[in-house]
């Protein structure tokens, strides 16, 4: 058994999470996040995503062990502990690296923005007019014109969210791949997207931006009337999720892909 770490407890404001954390608060000697070796995050996937975004502002990245007291909990661990303490569970947990995307957006007016995206970056038409985009990978134009509702680029952590609903592939955590998925494509109608290495630099240029305005969304951050977007995996920031050994994480990935 690995040596136990100093743990900080972070709990969602939801009544379900708050109630579930009452026992945890009494069963472990918690420390402040600044003094911790790892965070125990109680809630759902959305709250874990919020915590990870907040952590990107810190000087150091702490591993996060999620306990599911939310809705889906794909990135969380089961609350059933089989008699094992939370300290032992975290000490023996398996780490999975999650590299966020750096998103650089330029608007039609020349304003520039930079955000992180842990789940996905989506480009969405703002009006009834179909969006038209040029897709460039590693400096080479791979698609001169994609017409439709838009497109998204998802990380493995986000591949089971919007990406999956849009018909994109599920990427196992730790695969170091990205899913490029069109949103209701009109032309080319049969293009289903692509799987790219994490090292790829992806650029989108908006065609006819005045007539066909497009918004860019990096997780919860939105920029409207964009001109172009450049996306790269961060080389400076790396997040770590902790999972119980032999947990059902891989089984959940299989189940999502074979649901009928």
Distance of CA 161 to the CA centre of its chain: 8
CB-neighbour burial class of residue 128 (10 A; exposed 0-12, middle 13-18, buried 19+): exposed
Active site residue 45: yes
162 marked as binding residue = yes
pLDDT of residue 1: 43
Give the span between the Cα atoms of 251 and 20, in whole angstroms: 25
Architecture of domain 101-233: Sandwich (2.60)
29 marked as binding residue = no
Q: Say whether the peptide bond before residue 146 is cis (omega within 30 degrees of 0).
A: no
Q: Which CATH class is domain 7-98+238-257?
A: alpha beta
pLDDT of residue 82: 73
pLDDT of residue 253: 66
Catalytic residue chosen out of the listed positions 13, 45, 59, 219? 45
Domain residue limits, the chain? 7-98+238-257, 101-233
Q: In b/e form, how buried is each residue of 3-20, taking b as 16+ CB within 10 angstroms?
A: ebbebbbbbbebeebeeb
120 marked as binding residue = yes
pTM comes to 0.89
Q: How many CB atoms lie within 10 A of CB 1?
A: 7
164 marked as binding residue = yes
pLDDT of residue 245: 85
pLDDT of residue 57: 92
CB-neighbour burial class of residue 150 (10 A; exposed 0-12, middle 13-18, buried 19+): buried
pLDDT of residue 37: 96
50 marked as binding residue = yes
28 marked as binding residue = no
Each residue's pLDDT, cut to its tens digit, for the chain (260 residues) gives 445 689 999 999 999 999 989 989 998 999 999 999 999 999 999 999 999 999 999 988 999 999 999 777 788 998 877 778 999 999 999 999 999 999 999 999 999 999 999 999 999 999 999 999 999 999 999 999 999 999 999 999 999 889 999 999 999 888 999 999 999 999 998 899 999 999 999 999 999 999 999 999 999 899 999 999 999 999 999 999 999 887 645 666 666 667 65
pLDDT of residue 73: 76
101 marked as binding residue = no
What's the number of CA atoms in the CB half-sphere (13 Å) around residue 83?
0
């Amino acid at each position: 058994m690995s040596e136990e770490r100093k743990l900080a407890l972070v709990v969602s404001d939801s009544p379900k999470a708050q109630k579930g954390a009452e026992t945890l608060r009494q069963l472990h000697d918690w420390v402040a996040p600044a003094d911790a070796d790892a965070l125990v995050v109680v809630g759902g996937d959305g709250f874990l995503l919020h915590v990870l975004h907040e952590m990107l502002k810190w000087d150091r990245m702490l591993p996060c062990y999620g306990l599911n007291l939310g809705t889906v909990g794909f990135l969380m661990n089961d609350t059933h502990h089989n008699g094992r303490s939370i300290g032992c569970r975290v000490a023996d947990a398996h780490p999975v690296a999650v590299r966020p995307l750096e998103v650089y957006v330029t608007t039609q007016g020349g304003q520039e923005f930079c955000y992180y995206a842990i789940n996905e970056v989506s480009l969405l038409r703002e009006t009834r007019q179909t969006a038209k985009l040029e897709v460039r990978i590693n400096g080479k134009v791979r698609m001169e014109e994609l017409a439709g509702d838009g497109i998204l680029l998802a990380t493995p952590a986000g591949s089971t969210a919007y990406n999956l609903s849009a018909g994109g592939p599920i990427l196992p955590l730790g695969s170091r791949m990205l899913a490029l998925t069109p949103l209701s494509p009109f032309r080319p109608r049969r293009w289903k997207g692509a799987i790219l290495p994490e090292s790829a630099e992806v650029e989108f240029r908006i065609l006819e931006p005045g007539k066909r305005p497009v918004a860019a969304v990096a997780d919860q951050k939105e920029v409207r009337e964009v001109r172009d977007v450049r996306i790269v995996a961060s080389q400076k920031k790396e997040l770590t999720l902790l999972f119980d050994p032999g947990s059902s994480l891989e089984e959940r990935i299989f189940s999502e892909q074979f649901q009928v």
